[in-house]
Amino acid sequence: MATIELKSVRKSFGKTEVIHGVDIDIANRELIVIVGPSGCGKSTLLRMVAGLETVTSGEVFIDGKRVNELEPMDRNIAMVFQNYALYPHMSVFDNMAYGLKIAGTPKAEIKERVETTAKLLELEPFLARKPRELSGGQRQRVAMGRAIVRKPAVFLFDEPLSNLDAKLRVQMRLEIKGLQKELGVTSLYVTHDQVEAMTLADRMVVMNAGVAEQIGTPLEVYQNPATMFVAGFIGSPPMNFLPAGALTQGLENDRLLNGLAKHSAGSSALTIGVRPEHLAFCDAETARLSGEVRYAEVLGAESLVHLALAEGRLLTVRQSGSAATPEAGETSFVRFDDADVRIFDSAGMRIPAD
């Protein structure tokens, strides 16, 4: 199908630069998810690939062809929007066929493409209906169908599931993942939902304030976050952060502290991060930290226990739902393995393990 390359792409609105030199290489048939908080520049980046925003500097290539100056219709892309963007006065069939009609596709071919796509998306019973007669999930399928019938080189998804309820989002992201693999179309997908990003992406781009902080597979990003921002954004609940100095009391010969000393003359300049599932309750003799239980969230399959440490810092421990949950007000002790700790410098960059 196609590849996508972004080379040192920047975007400014007046004197304000909102995209700061992003480089991404997307392979043929790959599904890349751009994820980040509101205002980080992820949708702006997608719109530059689509041609809906001009590129201030840098280059965008689709299938090896520079497309900076090409109109959206000439880039061989199809876009699925958050708000569906369906024509309310048209039937499902006509909504899906509209782009093909504009392109002058023969009627017989339009009919064949729409019916084949409707079968793929289980929309056959609804082809004569108007969008107002459909559920949110069905409308999103129509929007996807309109993109699929065009047989584009690239799919672009701009937060397509944001308007759906939680249960339907789970169902639709499974369908999108399956369809993308079945159709084999290179795809760029934007979302603010890190769970959506983790479950959909072949690789993910974590954006922060116009900068691509990390690009990698979901597991690479989760297990070895490049920065404190990535570590705190990816993962629910997020990684726990503590000043390295918080570990010093009573742990003068601790192996982790000895390792920290290699990176900084004063370990207090460093921050350690450990994910909630890597913490476990233990007795006082084997503990690395202790704190007072503030409250516990019992979620069924798991429980999240929140401890208050010194100076008001909170620590979250994830445990099995079948495990006994400490009572609020109790003093609890926790341990962790050195291998599960990530160390960040004063600039928030992760220090690689020795």
Q: Domain residues of the chain, as ranges?
A: 4-233, 240-351
Please calculate the CA angle 90-91-95 and round it to the nearest 5 degrees: 70
DSSP state for residue 245 in the 8-state scheme: G
Write b or e for each residue in 48-66: b if 16 or more Cβ atoms lie within 10 A of its Cβ, otherwise e: bbbbebebeebebbbbeee
Predicted local distance difference test score (pLDDT) of residue 220 = 96
Report the range out of 79-93, 214-228, 249-263, 291-305 with the highest average pLDDT.
214-228
For the chain, the average pLDDT equals 89
For residue 312, pLDDT beyond 70: yes
Q: Which tokens hold the place of 30?
A: 């790959």
Predicted local distance difference test score (pLDDT) of residue 251 = 43
Predicted local distance difference test score (pLDDT) of residue 93 = 95
For residue 327, pLDDT beyond 90: no
What separation, in Å, do the N-terminal and C-terminal C-alpha atoms of the chain show?
Answer: 41
Cα–Cα distance measured from residue 137 to residue 154, given in angstroms and rounded to the nearest whole number: 22
**Share above pLDDT 90 across residues of the chain, in percent, rounded to a whole number:** 61
Instruction: Choose among 54, 41, 131: nearest CA to 93.
Output: 131
| C-beta of residue 125 within 8 angstroms of C-beta of residue 48 | no
For residue 308, pLDDT beyond 90: yes
The matching CATH number, chosen from 3.30.342.10, 2.40.240.10, 2.40.50.140, 1.10.10.10, for 240-351 is 2.40.50.140
Cα–Cα distance measured from residue 205 to residue 212, given in angstroms and rounded to the nearest whole number: 6
Cα–Cα distance measured from residue 107 to residue 100, given in angstroms and rounded to the nearest whole number: 9
Cis peptide before 243 (omega within 30 of 0): no
Q: Where do the H-state alpha helices sit in the chain?
A: 42-50, 92-102, 107-120, 136-148, 166-183, 194-200, 218-223, 228-233, 255-263
Type and span of the H or E element at 344: strand 342-344
| C-beta of residue 203 within 8 angstroms of C-beta of residue 322 | no
| C-beta of residue 302 within 8 angstroms of C-beta of residue 320 | yes
Residue labelled with tokens 């922060």: 208
The residue count for the chain: 354
Predicted local distance difference test score (pLDDT) of residue 264 = 54
Query: How far is the CA of 177 from the CAs of 30, 65, 151, 174, 197, in angstroms?
Result: 11, 27, 17, 5, 11
Task: For residue 241, give the 3-state DSSP assignment.
Answer: strand
Instruction: Choose among 146, 144, 169: nearest CA to 157.
Output: 144
Classify domain 4-233 by CATH architecture: 3-Layer(aba) Sandwich (3.40)
For residue 253, pLDDT beyond 60: no
Predicted local distance difference test score (pLDDT) of residue 261 = 54
Reported pTM: 0.88
- pLDDT, tens only, 49-87: 999 999 999 999 999 999 999 999 899 999 988 888 889
Q: Please report, as a single letter, which amino acid is at residue 187.
A: S
Name the pLDDT band for 346 (thresholds 50, 70, 90). confident
27-31, 127-131, 168-172: least confident range: 168-172
Cα–Cα distance measured from residue 294 to residue 306, given in angstroms and rounded to the nearest whole number: 6
3-state secondary structure 59-79: EEEECCEECCCCCHHHCCEEE
| C-beta of residue 293 within 8 angstroms of C-beta of residue 328 | yes
| C-beta of residue 7 within 8 angstroms of C-beta of residue 45 | no
For residue 249, pLDDT beyond 50: no
Predicted local distance difference test score (pLDDT) of residue 263 = 56
Report the range out of 41-50, 82-91, 94-103, 142-151 with the highest average pLDDT.
41-50
Handedness of CA 49, 51, 53, 58 (dihedral sign): positive
For residue 267, pLDDT beyond 50: no
Rounded to an integer, the average pLDDT of 178-192 is 92
- pLDDT, tens only, 136-161: 888 988 998 999 998 899 999 999 88
Q: Which tokens hold the place of 271?
A: 């921050």
Q: pLDDT higher for 183 or 60?
A: 60
**Across the chain, which distance is largest between two alpha carbons, in Å?**
79
Name the pLDDT band for 252 (thresholds 50, 70, 90). very low
Rounded to an integer, the average pLDDT of 102-126 is 92
